[in-house]
Amino acid sequence: MIDERFDAIVVGAGPSGNAAAYTLAKEGLKVLQIERGEYSGSKNVQGAILYADALEKIIPEFREEAPLERHIIEQRIWTMDDKSHTGMHYRSDDFNEEKPNRYTILRAQFDKWFSSKVKEAGAIVLCETTVTELVRDTQDRVIGVRTDRSGSAIMANVVILAEGVNGLVGQRSGLRPELEADSVALAVKEMHFLPREVIEARFNLTGNEGVVIEAMGTITKGMTGTAFLYTNEESISVGIGCIVSDFAKADITPYALLETFKNHPSIKPLLVGSECKEYAAHLIPEGGYKAIPQLVGAGWIVVGDAGQFVNAVHREGSNLAMTTGRIAAETVVWLHRRREAMSHENLKEYERRLEQTFVMKDLKKYKGIPDLLHNNKQNFFGLYPKLISQAMQTWFRVDGVDKISKENEIFRSFRSARTLFGIIGDAFRLVRAWR
Ligand SMILES: Cc1cc2nc3c(=O)[nH]c(=O)nc-3n(C[C@H](O)[C@H](O)[C@H](O)COP(=O)(O)OP(=O)(O)OC[C@H]3O[C@@H](n4cnc5c(N)ncnc54)[C@H](O)[C@@H]3O)c2cc1C
């Protein structure tokens, strides 16, 4: 039983919870962090690309100690049909900089390291403990939590909910609605091990350079979703995810979808000879801006995936998690120093601060995109990738047919698919949603 009263309790030890607990403890607040997993990282799943900027703002010297795999020098974006991919690749030696911008990581190792920094900063980290409910006073203010360890309450001035996408504590306490099957993706991921020199030869890499492939197209069998392949030091992370409501109607399981992706002629040679040692599945909040729940109330704040902070268009989540965790903690520190109450009104400062960051600016900018893609999935994840592939094939195949005839054939294939108006409409909606 813990009798002390804390300045803050942080529920969850993923990137958002660790960012919050570290920032609070470093500023001298008395912090208890509670994690249901055996250790920080044991329950967490990510691709995983780490965006340096968000972590640098919390631990500037992280590159000297954090377990990082490869820094990314090349980004490939593919649209795929069943036999081909059409790619946009960007590779630059500029990314071989002193302080690289993005890295691949293994979450189990990375989160463990981040958690060690939280402990070093002075927070108490309680693992293998699940927060079961929030404790409220007679005025309905949150004043602590209950866990599965003992029925008695642990008290704090504020509770930061960093419990991830499911957010059951918040949900059970009526702070947020249930997740909607339309705004959450189910992703499955495997780790394929290969000797590092094989990975380097296969992806044209030297030393710790790395490559990222993000892919969409018929690989998701008409469902709204994407796939990825990331190079680690001695392994390759490969995964695919689709919106849950699509999976519910589909006649393919997530695992079978991943098998099909791995056997695609553009992917298979990249994995050949590898040994698959890990398999994981996890939800990703993909509803964007409109899915963000209430973020603060009397005595509580929501951060990270629990607040649906994922930019699905740009495949960013952990950086939004760390940024919202840091800003929530900075708000609490600010109020604590001014000896102000952790009231609903005062904690709205967190929302005001978030508005100034890339987190809210980006989510607002792209707020129409998730629905647009999902409502037109038969085009974006079916018809268009096929048409692009057909056009490329017609164009690149040298077969004695003149180029004017080829241009006409490409044009006809778009028209004959009765898509011209559809394409113009989708392009118009896409541009409007983007702006
Ligand atoms: C397959 C996949 C690939 C991804 N790829 C990328 C990527 O490449 N780059 C990127 O930036 N993002 C990526 N993301 C998103 C990223 O993983 C998340 O945005 C990020 O992990 C969110 O961090 P978090 O701390 O909010 O939540 P989480 O990492 O989910 O952490 C929540 C923690 O809370 C704990 N918890 C939950 N309930 C309780 C409770 N009641 N009591 C105590 N503890 C509790 C959990 O055990 C967990 O440790 C990916 C996600 C998936 C699933």
What is the pLDDT, as a whole number, of residue 138? 96
Going by pLDDT thresholds of 50, 70 and 90, the confidence category of residue 434 is low
Q: Whose CA is nearest to atom 17 of ligand 1?
A: 46
pLDDT at position 393 is: 96
pLDDT in tens, 4-30: 899 999 999 999 999 999 999 999 999
Q: Tell me how far the alpha carbon of residue 187 lies from the centroid of ligand 1, in angstroms.
A: 12
Lowest-pLDDT range, 184-188, 268-272, 412-416? 412-416
In whole angstroms, give the CA distance from residue 218 to residue 322: 33
In this model, does residue 329 exceed pLDDT 90? yes
| 70-105 tens-digit pLDDT | 999 999 999 999 999 999 999 999 999 999 999 999
* Confidence band of 281 (pLDDT split at 50, 70, 90): very high
C-alpha–C-alpha distance, residues 413 and 419, integer Å = 9
Looking at residue 45, what is its pLDDT? 79
Q: Which of 305, 310, 316 to mutate to test the pocket of ligand 1 (most atoms within 8 A of CB)?
A: 305
Compute the average pLDDT of residues 288-307: 96
pLDDT at 418: 58
Q: Which pLDDT score, from 0 to 100, does residue 62 have?
A: 98
Residue ranges lining ligand 1, Cβ < 6 Å: 11-17, 34-37, 43-49, 130-131, 162-164, 168-169, 187, 189, 239, 241, 282, 284, 304-306, 310, 315-319, 321
pLDDT band at 372 (very low <50, low <70, confident <90, very high): confident
Which residue minimizes the CA distance to atom 26 of ligand 1? 304
Better-predicted residue by pLDDT, 242 or 313: 242
For the cut 70, the answer to whether the pLDDT of residue 417 exceeds it is no
Band of pLDDT at residue 269, cut at 50, 70 and 90: very high
pLDDT of 435 reads: 64
pLDDT at residue 151 tops 90:
no
**Mean pLDDT for the stretch of residues 223-251:** 96
Residue 297 CA, distance from chain mean position:
25
Kindly report, residue by residue over 50-69, the tens digit of the pLDDT.
999 999 999 999 999 999 99
Distance CA 45, CA 40 (A): 11
| Other beta carbons less than 10 A from residue 233's beta carbon | 15
Q: Which tens digits make up the pLDDT trace of 308-320?
A: 999 998 999 999 9
Residue with the larger pLDDT of the pair 213 and 426: 213
Q: Tell me what pLDDT residue 419 has.
A: 60
Contact 307, 293 (CB under 8 A): yes
- Averaged pLDDT, 271-277: 96
The predicted model gives 216-240 an average pLDDT of 97
> What was the pLDDT predicted at 408?
92
Q: How many CA atoms lie within 13 A of 402 on its CB side?
A: 2
Question: 280: cis peptide before it, omega within 30°?
Answer: no
Cα 225 to its chain centre, rounded Å, is 13
Given pLDDT bands bounded at 50, 70 and 90, which one contains residue 258?
very high
Atom of ligand 1 nearest to the CA of 51: 11
- Is the pLDDT reported for residue 271 higher than 70? yes
Mean of the per-residue pLDDT values for the chain? 94
Residue 427 confidence (pLDDT): 72
Which of 10, 32, 42, 44 best tests ligand 1's pocket when mutated (most atoms within 8 Å of CB)?
A: 44
Mention every residue, 6+ apart, whose C-beta is less than 8 A from residue 424.
none
**Whether the predicted pLDDT of 1 surpasses 60:** no
Tell me which residue of 40, 51, 52 sits closest to 113, measured CA to CA: 40
pLDDT digits (tens, 9 = 90+) for 109-148: 999 999 999 999 999 999 999 999 999 999 999 999 999 9
Closest CA to 189 of 226, 223, 233: 226
10, containing H or E segment? strand 5-11
